[in-house]
Amino acid sequence: MIRTVIGLAVLAIIVGVLALRWRRATRAHHARLDQLEVRIHVNGIRGKSTVTRLLGGVLREGGYRTVAKTTGSAARVIGPDGVEAPIPRRGAPTIYEQVDVVKEHVRQQIDALVIECMAVRPAYQKYSQDFLVKSDITVITNVREDHQEEMGETLAEIADSLSATIPHGGVLVTAEDRPALRDRLAHHAATRGSRFVYADPIGVDDEELRDFDYVQFKENLAIGFAVARLLSIPREVALRGMVKSVPDVGVVRLHTYDLGGAQVLWVPLFAANDRESVILTFQALAPHFPPGAPVVGILNNRLDRGRRAQLFATMVPTDLQNVLNHVVTFGAYEDTVIDTMIKGGYPEERIHRMGDTVQPDLPELLRALAELFPDGRGVLVGMVNIHTAQAEMLIEHFQSERDTHVDEVVMSQQPDRAPTSIQRAVATASYLPRHYLESANG
């Protein structure tokens, strides 16, 4: 009996100590958030990482000392000078990573935080907004069919799930263009007392897209301009900041490579893995394809993404029949995927196995792909997922063929990508007398 009482007492003390530490940590976290002038939470199905980076560039160029944090293809923290740092992870990422980022990077001199939502389940999204981020402005980039297991089977249900990150008494910005979904988001904003802002891509000029050295979308820029207007940042300043921002590793960059004597345009479309995004991206990329060149699509299927594999197998005959001259299968589910495409009406002779059932080495893979471009030119599009043995082998080969390869962290350190205010400060310091700098630093 006495041992039981002592055990319960010790347990109560431990629980009390843990509760006290949790309360102190929560207060400290909220104090760091409350000191910020601007807090932006970026949610949505597609484009979150890109929009987070663009908004970080807008705020930095607009004079806000800004910390931005992305979660996408490569998790990064982007400092007030635009320089990036990878986020080390010892295990699977969790939403509490946001607390660690704020603790480490949000100091008294920081004005703004732009942070990509990590949560998928609606309850976690609500917790992220109400306790971890407490944003003034929430961005929902768009509503697409993905993560249905957690967010709902229909687009309306997915819109409802995403709405869990809308602030109370703040602002919701979205580029979702379908009126029914947009109205649904607006309704959720109204119930939280938040202002609704539609970032209309029709207001983005084609010339503004040409300032980017990678494939960019008007919807993303429209969100950047909308947030700039909310913060009274001039449009030309906002655009300059977005152009300076380093793109995410998942963006589409177009490069031509020699593939067995054929000049092939490589299109890494792995980040677009829902039906609507793929169709829209193909439409945006079409002007960049060589006229009349054959287009070969790679269906790159991961073993843990069975539902996505089935989605693309269905899309090929229904949506991409007239776009893809050939289809190559990488990774898992080859029998099922090929059977689905054939039953849907895609010609069997235009389907080529190069995945786990074949397990080709690099020379075999390159030779098989080159045979699909008999005229010496073409377009090769990677889709569905990025990580399989065949895709990683091909990507590594293409990277080795480039004369130079600069990663995003190195790119962010380029002086011309720094905010104008920092460039001016550096330029001014270089003209100051040495004795003035010594006295200022002393």
pLDDT, position 441: 53
**Under 8 Å between Cβ of 254 and 267:** yes
Task: DSSP letter for 166, please.
Answer: P
Q: Is the pLDDT of residue 204 over 80?
A: yes
| CA–CA separation, 378 and 304 (whole Å) | 31
Q: Is the pLDDT of residue 384 over 70?
A: yes
Sheet of 326-331: strand order equals 255-259, 262-268, 377-384, 295-301, 326-331, 351-353
Average of per-residue pLDDT across 262-266: 93
| CA–CA separation, 303 and 355 (whole Å) | 12
Q: Is the pLDDT of residue 165 over 80?
A: yes
Task: DSSP letter for 416, please.
Answer: G
Same fold, 30-249 and 255-401: no
Q: Is the pLDDT of residue 41 over 90?
A: yes
Burial of 64 (0-12, 13-18, 19+ CB in 10 A): buried
Residue 48 main-chain phi, psi, to 5 deg: -60, -50
Q: Is the pLDDT of residue 129 over 80?
A: yes
Q: If you write DSSP's letter for every residue of 281-312 in order, what string do you get?
A: HHHHHGGGSPTT--EEEEEEE-TT-HHHHHHH
Topology of domain 255-401, per CATH? Answer: Protein-Tyrosine Phosphatase; Chain A (3.90.190)
Topology of domain 30-249, per CATH? Answer: UDP-N-acetylmuramoyl-L-alanine:D-glutamate ligase (3.40.1190)
pLDDT, position 357: 93
SS3 382: strand
- For CA atoms 354, 302, 216, 318, the dihedral sign is positive
pLDDT tens figures, 304-359: 889 889 999 999 999 999 899 999 999 999 999 999 999 999 999 999 999 999 99
Q: What are the distances in angstroms from CA 342 to CA 249, 285, 323, 325, 396? A: 34, 26, 16, 14, 31
Query: In the chain, what are the domain boundaries?
Result: 30-249, 255-401
Tokens of 1: 């009996």
| CA–CA separation, 47 and 251 (whole Å) | 9
Mean pLDDT (the chain) is 88
Residue with tokens 């054959």: 294
Nearest by Cα to 313 from 342, 277, 349, 285: 342
Tokens of 177: 């263009």
